[in-house]
Amino acid sequence: MTKSRSSHFARRVSAVAWREFVSMVFTKAFIFGVLIVPGIMIVTFAVIPALLHEGPRAVTGRVLVFDPSGTVAPAAQAALESILARQLDPAADFAEVGTSGAGGTAGLLAATGASADTVSVRFESTTKPESELKNLLKVGDCLAYAIVPEGLLAAPPEKQATYTLAVATWTSPSHTSLFTRSIRDGIVKARLDAAGEDHDALKALLAAPEETAIRVSEDGNVAPESAAGRMLIPMGFMMLMWMVVFTGANQLLTSTIEEKSNKVMEVLLSAASPFELLTGKVLGQGLVSLLMLGIYGSLGVAGLVFAAMADLVTPMSLLLLVCYGVTAYFMVAAMMAAVGSAVNDLKEAQSLVGPVMLVVMVPLILWLPISENPNGWVAVITSFIPPLTPFVMILRATGTAEPIPFWQIPATIGLSVMASIGFLWVASRIFRVGVLMQGKTPTPMELLRWAMVR
C-alpha cells in the first residue's frame, strides 16, 4: 500500500514537473532568450577580435612643432620610433616611466594598433605663427601642430605651463593619443638634454620594477596571488547563480499567479494534492534553471578559455556552483511559489516579494568585504544564515588562493539542503491555503499563520 502510494505520488509530481518544464522550454521566448542569444554572443566574441585586429587606417604626413629651442621635434620623432618599436617587444614597456594609467606604451599600442606599417609620421620644427599653422592644418598640409611654450623646457619647468596640440577633425582618437604621447615624451627628453642629463640612463634608473605576488597559507603552501581571480571570478560565479535562480523563481511566481487567476489551478488540484502540485512546479522550473545554468556556465567557461584564463576556474568550483545553485533555487523558489499562491496578480506580489529580495541582496552588498577576507567573521557568519548560505559560500569557495576550512563546505551544503526542505515545507502549507483563496492580499503575518495551520 505504501509502495503504491509512493508510486502514485512520484507519477503525479513528475507529470506536473514535465508540464512545467515543457511549457517554459518549448516556447519561442525561451529559445530566443536562452539558446539564440548565447549563440549570438559567441559569434560576436569571435568576430570582434578579428575586427579589432584590423586596426585603424594608415596615417602619413607631418606634425609641425613650434618651440623656442627647436629640440622637441627631433626628440618627439625618436619617441615615436621607440613607441612603434615596442610593438615588437611589449614586455620592454615595463621598464618605462612616466606612463599614465595601466599598460603604458603596451596599452597605447593595444588601443591604437599602431605599427611602422600603418604610421608614417614626421615631426618637424617650425617657426610659423599659429594662425598660419591653422591654415596649413585646414588644407591638409599637415596632420597636426603643437605649440610648446618655453616654460615647459626650463629646468625646473613652470608648474602651470602646458603645450597645445591641434589636430584635424578627421583624425582618429587613437592617432591623437599617439601624437600626444610622442610630443610629451619628446618634451621630457629635450628638457633633460638641455640640462645635460642622460635621458635613457635616468629612465632606466627610475623604472618601476614588476612584482611577483604570492600567497603563503598557514601550512606553508605557496600559490600565485591573482587580484582578478579573487575579485572578478567569485563575482561572476555569484551573478551567474543569482541570474539563474531568480529567473527560474520569478517564472514560477508568474506561472502560479496566472494559473490561479485563470482557474487552471483548480483543475490541476482535482488531479493532484497541493503538495504534489507545488513539488512538481518547483522541480519543473528547477530543470529549466539547471538548463540555463549549464548553457550560460558553459558560455562563461568558453570565454575564459578563449581569454587564456581557464586556470582561474577549477572543476571543484563548477561542482560547488551546481550544488549551491540547486539549493539556492529551492529556497528562493519555495518563497516565490508561496507568495504566488497567496496573491491575485503581480502588483500584489511586489509587496510580499520585496522583503525576500532585500534579504537575498545581502551577498551583493557584502561582495567586496567577503572577497577581500573570505575567512573573516562577516563571511563565516553569513555562510550559516539561509537563504544567504549558497550565495556567500560560492563567493568564498571561488575567491581565494588559500582554501577556506574544508569542513565548512559539506556543513554549509548540508545546511542548505535542510533549509531547502524547511522552506519547501513552509511553502507547501501556505500553498495549500492560499492557492484557493481569493480577495484581499494577505499580510506577512497572515502567511505565517497559514504555515502554522494543521
d(CA 188, CA 154): 10
Cell of 113: 594598433
Backbone angles phi, psi at 184, to 5 degrees: -60, -45
Contact in structure between 16 and 284 (CB atoms under 8 Å): yes
- What is the reported pLDDT for 107? 46
Bridge partner list, 125? 65
d(CA 262, CA 345): 11
d(CA 352, CA 346): 10
Question: Which of 424, 414, 385 has its CA nearest to residue 252?
Answer: 424
- What is the reported pLDDT for 416? 94
Bridge partner list, 144? 63, 167
Sequence-ordered list of residues with C-beta below 8 angstroms from that of 118, at least 6 positions apart, any chain: 55, 56, 57, 58, 59
Cell of 218: 598557514
DSSP of 197-213, one letter per residue?
--HHHHHHHTPPPP---
* Bond prior to 90 in cis (omega within 30° of 0): no
- What is the reported pLDDT for 215? 61
- What is the reported pLDDT for 24? 78
Structure-derived torsion over alpha carbons of residues 367, 368, 373, 374, reported in degrees to the nearest 10: 20
- Residue with cell string 490561479: 260
Cα distances from 25 to residues 12, 34, 250, 297, in angstroms, run: 20, 9, 15, 18
- What is the reported pLDDT for 111? 45
- What is the reported pLDDT for 410? 93
Strand order in the sheet with 144-147: 119-125, 59-66, 144-147, 164-167
Which domains, and CATH codes, for the chain? 58-205 (3.40.190), 226-452 (no CATH)
pLDDT tens sequence across 172-230: 888 888 899 999 999 988 888 888 887 778 777 777 777 777 666 556 666 666 666 56
Question: Which of 52, 76, 55 has its CA nearest to residue 64?
Answer: 76
pLDDT tens sequence across 296-329: 888 777 776 765 566 667 788 889 999 999 999 9
Q: Collapsing DSSP states into helix, strand and coil, what is residue 217? A: coil
d(CA 84, CA 93): 11
User: Which residues of the chain register pLDDT less than 70?
Assistant: 1-5, 29, 33-39, 41-57, 86-117, 214-230, 304, 306-312, 400-402, 439, 454
Contact in structure between 189 and 79 (CB atoms under 8 Å): yes
Q: Collapsing DSSP states into helix, strand and coil, what is residue 224? A: strand
Question: Which of 263, 257, 283 has its CA nearest to residue 340?
Answer: 257
pLDDT tens sequence across 240-281: 888 888 888 888 888 888 888 887 877 877 777 878 888 888
Structure-derived torsion over alpha carbons of residues 355, 356, 361, 366, reported in degrees to the nearest 10: 80
d(CA 325, CA 319): 10
> In the Cβ-directed half-sphere of 23, how many Cα atoms lie within 13 Å?
18
Backbone angles phi, psi at 290, to 5 degrees: -65, -40
pTM: predicted TM-score of the whole model, two decimal places: 0.64
Sign of the CA dihedral with 342 first, then 346, 351, and 356 last: positive
